[in-house]
Structure 1
Amino acid sequence: MKLTFLGTGTSQGVPVIGMNTPVAHSKDKKDKRLRTSALLSWGGVNVNIDCSPDFRQQMLRHKVQHLEAILFTHEHADHTAGLDDIRPFVHKQGDMPIYGLPRVIEQLRIRFAYIFATENRYAGAPSVKVFEVEDTTPFVLFGKEVIPIAVQHGTLPILGYRIGNMAYITDAKIIEKEQLSKLYKVDTLVLNALRKAPHPTHLNIEEALELIKEIRPRQTFLTHISQTMGFHSLVQKELPPYVFLAYDNLVVTIKD
């Protein structure tokens, strides 16, 4: 399985509009971050995790010709706002399968009512096939078992996903022991780490490193990074040798 980091930035991306931080002036491409999402590829299928406001740009950048499904972690705009841009895939392939918590699906129905409409549909609107996910129930997606991981984004329950030897968790603040057990013996972990300072709804880098010590993956990639984290090249030097700051366009091969 191949994991492509389409975006690794926080909700406003990096740099942030109108901000004049040192990172905003960086010449390092690794300090330019679109909104967080990822592409998983195996056996001739492509599956997105989340559908960011930068979805169109991300698909064009990576020359993605087909997309078989989207897994949603939660309903916040930086993870869902690109949904209208699935239209070219829908026109080529038919309804787009989407997976998410019932609450998340309901929010998408409200925000994108025209996509879910059954009467008087706009002819050019995209269409979806809905699969509701429960955090206690694994499911099979194109031959691979997907294990939902329940985490807390502040007080909001959201999902991460374990697929084979890879687990992807973003926007977490708390992961309970029962859910951590689903992550043991994972080879590759993707975990959010917003910045160095504490945050009420996201892990900071210190909290992320503590979780990594408990989970003990072979390698971890940190994502959902804000401009206040600092320069990529400098922060990377401060991390353990098995922990890496993810960056946009990074491609990782996941061992079976």
Structure 2
Amino acid sequence: MKEKLTVKVLGSGTSQGVPVIGCQCEVCTSKDAKDNRLRSSILFTWNDQNFVIDSGPDFRQQMLREDVRSLRAVIYTHEHKDHVAGMDDVRSFNFLEGRSMELFCTDAVSDALKNEFHYAFGTNVYPGAPRVNINIIENKPFQLPDGPMITPILTYHYKMPVFGYRIGDFAYLTDVKTIPVEELKKLKGVETLIIDCLREEPHISHLNLEEALDIINYLHPKQSYLTHISHLFGTHEQIKAKLPRSVSPAFDGLTIKIE
């Protein structure tokens, strides 16, 4: 039986989310639900098993919105707060499923988690703290429990190493500014791509529209989606009007079925 992969965009916004606190711009005051963007994260389902890439500060809200009742593992891209801050809330799944949550991350992310959530680690774990099992990953394929093989893609967020991930013909790249040539080659043949695109103007640590489209044109996926979108980029409809037919702005709640 062929494995089935479904991807749900949990959040498509930048580190501040959209709307930004206190901002009264056209995007932040938009009535279009697609302009409400939580912090970037995806959920993917592989043969009825759920996995999440990044548990940011909106993780609880995202799990409630999508009515997620089981979660097999969390995979992390990097250690910035907008990608790890919600880790504590995996404890709900500890109670629901009666097991520790499997976390997959680099040594740097592991150190950040142990510092931020110190009460969940060590010999004197605080009662009620999340129960987690950290699996250290490197830049080589790894197998998820009850799930697919994942190929990390090493990218750079300014100078910070960040992992993107390829799962079969699908790839997810967030918080990207540069991709080494040897890593870009690992993405050839991808048919569905979700890629960082903060805004039109250049940025020191994120792809802008021109840079994201250059990568898309090199890889030629059948369909691409832009994520980690800032309120400075425009409304969903304004962004959509600027894009080629095979590229779309992602939005929270978007479901993608990978054939």
Task: Tell me the TM-score range normalised by the shorter chain.
Answer: over 0.9
Match of 1:216 in 2: 220
Q: Secondary structure at the match of 2:186?
A: helix
The within-5 A match list for 1:211-250 is: 211-250=215-254
Match of 1:51 in 2: 55
Residue 146 of structure 1 pairs with residue 150 of structure 2: yes
Paired amino acid for 1:106: D
1:153-199 residue CA offsets vs partner (Å, 9 max, x unmatched): 00001100001111000000000110001100011011000001100
CA distance, structure 1, for counterparts of residue 223 and residue 47 of structure 2: 23
Give the deviation of 1:143 after TM superposition.
4.2
Q: Secondary structure at the match of 1:25?
A: coil
Percent identical among aligned pairs is: 47
CA distance, structure 1, for counterparts of residue 161 and residue 128 of structure 2: 34
**What is the TM-score with the length of structure 1 in the denominator?**
0.97
Stretches of structure 1 lacking an aligned partner (at least 5 in a row): none
Stretches of structure 2 lacking an aligned partner (at least 5 in a row): none
1:87-112 residue CA offsets vs partner (Å, 9 max, x unmatched): 11012221100001111111111111
Moved over 2 A (4+): none
The within-5 A match list for 1:115-154 is: 115-119=120-124, 121-135=125-139, 137-141=140-144, 142-154=146-158
Paired amino acid for 2:250: A
Give the deviation of 1:221 after TM superposition.
0.7
Q: 1:110 aligns with which of 115, 120, 125?
A: 115
CA distance, structure 1, for counterparts of residue 188 and residue 163 of structure 2: 17
CA distance, structure 2, for counterparts of residue 81 and residue 88 of structure 1: 15
The within-5 A match list for 1:15-34 is: 15-34=19-38
Match of 2:198 in 1: 194
**What is the TM-score with the length of structure 2 in the denominator?**
0.96
CA distance, structure 2, for counterparts of residue 172 and residue 47 of structure 1: 22
